[in-house]
Amino acid sequence: MRCPHALPRRLARRSDLDRKEPNLSAVDVVIIGGCGHVGLPLGLAFADRGLNVVLYDINPNAVDAVNDGRLPFAEPGALEILGAVRAAGTLHASTDPATVRDAASVIVVIGTPIDNHLNPDLGAVQQAIGDVATHLVDGQLLVLRSTVYPGVTAMVEQLLVNLRLDVDVAFCPERIAEGQAMRELYELPQIVASRSKRALERATKLFRNLAHEIVYLEPEEAELAKLFTNTWRYIKFATANQLFMMANDFGLDYERIRAAVTYQYPRASDLPGAGFAAGPCLFKDTMQLAAFNNNNFHLGQASVMINEGLPLYLVARLEQSFDLSDLTVGILGMAFKAESDDIRSSLSYKLKRILRFKAARVLTHDPYVTVDPDLVALDALLTEADLLIIATPHSVYRDFETTKPVIDIWNLREQGVRA
């Protein structure tokens, strides 16, 4: 199906008077948003393959960290590559938007969050490109890599036409999971989309440095493909969480049932375990898809209610067995996923907020998180808390000794008690 936003393939050209004199051979790739969770691993991977990479980012702390050889956040395997590519001189970070000027390829991976009304900010990507527009030059390849609302690639194409820039545009979504980036960047097939043959060829050549398989789609198909990827995962987690609540309310152990369902039964082998489904992507991308479909996405919206409702369910169930108002509750794990330091949209914080109304005291611990001043040491939490909840299944919580009740919806310890 043709996209309603389809634009003419030939872009308007600048007049010779407007034309700048770039040195497009100086830098292979500039990544806008290059010190973020997606931009940095991507830049490291390209630099590790010998490309000359500049990470442009408006966060000066993250830029300084990268240039000092430190990671602004944890990502397994990234620190070693950062050391190697800095030594080789193939990567550096900058807060200077003018760095965009000499790059053959410019990749945009800024964050694309939803607003307080759960709607995507359709202007975020255009704004970021607009901010560097005076440094973009004819002949560049611009790759959009943020997860976007369908039609944003077309808007970017139109923006560049309006700016009278002859820049090739491709949409090449990122599909790595945090914590797996330095492996998955080399293993996952890369979706490449563009309305221009030349942009397709250039984006293919660029990503062949990493991926051994390229999958071609139209831009709007690729935008939906990325949203479908995350939404599918979010719905699967919601299914598991609903089934968990069902079994639990019936006094049965979901994990025991799941083990039986999935045992040597490939058709159900992807039934996930229960647990907090959170983080910066799955919820917001499900909401992006709902907004795209005029808010008509019952399955997605039901998934939000189930996944976001799990902390409330947990506390409501605990209130049936404990007088929380007398107890100190310890929350183990504040990051949104195991072995991560990323607290963005973590449901551990929702659990903490609910418990602060209900319990005498709430203590929190996380072995990886560095940005939360309220965290206490694990020993102190294990000593002072009357009741323990594993909110994030960090492996460090698998084996600690305690006589206190441990609420373990992840089934990390097996001997945990049901909620």
Binding mask 238-277 for ligand NAD (x = CB under 6 A): ----------------------------------------
Shortest gap between Cβ of 102 and ligand NAD (angstroms)? 17
**Which residue from 58, 79, 118, 225 is in contact with ligand NAD, where contact means CB under 6 A?**
58
Shortest gap between Cβ of 47 and ligand NAD (angstroms)? 17
Tell me which stretch binds ligand NAD (CB under 6 A): 9-17, 110-118, 182-190, 215-223: 110-118
If the CB atoms of residues 171 and 410 are measured against ligand NAD, the closer one turns out to be: 171
If the CB atoms of residues 100 and 137 are measured against ligand NAD, the closer one turns out to be: 100
**Which residue from 146, 196, 242, 348 is in contact with ligand NAD, where contact means CB under 6 A?**
146
Shortest gap between Cβ of 80 and ligand NAD (angstroms)? 20
> Three-state SS across the chain?
CCCCCCCCCCCCCCCCCCCCCCCCCCEEEEEECCCCCCHHHHHHHHHHCCCCEEEECCCHHHHHHHHCCCCCCCCCCHHHHHHHHHHHCCEEEECCHHHHHHEEEEEECCCCCECCCCCECCCHHHHHHHHCHHHCCCCCEEEECCCCCCCHHHHHHHHHHHCCCCCEEEECCCCCCCCCHHHHHHHCCEEEECCCHHHHHHHHHHHCCCCCCEEEECHHHHHHHHHHHHHHHHHHHHHHHHHHHHHHHCCCCHHHHHHHHHCCCHHHCCCCCCCCCCCCCHHHHHHHHHHHCCCCCHHHHHHHHHHHHHHHHHHHHHHHHCCHHHCEEEEECCCCCCCCCCCCCCHHHHHHHHHHHHCCEEEEECCCCCCCCCECCHHHHHHHCCEEEECCCCHHHCCCCCCCCEECCCCCCCCCECC
**Which residue from 48, 57, 75, 220 is in contact with ligand NAD, where contact means CB under 6 A?**
57
Tokens at 230, concatenated:
């995350």
- Angstrom distances, CA of residue 8 to CA of 12, 158, 159, 196, 411: 10, 10, 13, 9, 54
Binding mask 11-50 for ligand NAD (x = CB under 6 A): ---------------------xx-xxxxx-----------
The reply to whether 59 sits near ligand NAD by the rule CB under 6 A is yes
Shortest gap between Cβ of 408 and ligand NAD (angstroms)? 25
The reply to whether 290 sits near ligand NAD by the rule CB under 6 A is no
**Location of structure tokens 């605990």:** 318
Residue 78 near residue 43 (C-beta atoms within 8 A):
no
The reply to whether 94 sits near ligand NAD by the rule CB under 6 A is no
Tell me which stretch binds ligand NAD (CB under 6 A): 52-60, 205-213, 292-300, 319-327: 52-60
Shortest gap between Cβ of 225 and ligand NAD (angstroms)? 12
Shortest gap between Cβ of 4 and ligand NAD (angstroms)? 23
Q: Tell me the C-alpha distance between 263 and 275, whole Å.
A: 20
**Which residue from 64, 131, 166, 201 is in contact with ligand NAD, where contact means CB under 6 A?**
131
If the CB atoms of residues 131 and 218 are measured against ligand NAD, the closer one turns out to be: 131
The reply to whether 337 sits near ligand NAD by the rule CB under 6 A is no
Residue 233 near residue 282 (C-beta atoms within 8 A):
yes
The reply to whether 128 sits near ligand NAD by the rule CB under 6 A is yes
The DSSP bridge partners found for residue 107 are 31, 143
Of 154-183, binders to ligand NAD (CB under 6 A) are 174, 176-178
Tell me which stretch binds ligand NAD (CB under 6 A): 17-25, 57-65, 248-256, 318-326: 57-65
Residue nearest to ligand NAD (CB): 36
- Count of positions on this chain that bind ligand NAD (CB under 6 A): 26
**Which residue from 82, 141, 156, 281 is in contact with ligand NAD, where contact means CB under 6 A?**
281
Q: Which residues lie closer than 8 Å to 325 by C-beta, 6 or more apart? A: 358, 359, 360
Of 296-325, binders to ligand NAD (CB under 6 A) are none
Binding mask 61-90 for ligand NAD (x = CB under 6 A): -x----------------------------
Binding site for ligand NAD (CB under 6 A): 32-33, 35-39, 56-59, 62, 109-112, 128, 131, 146-147, 174, 176-178, 280-281
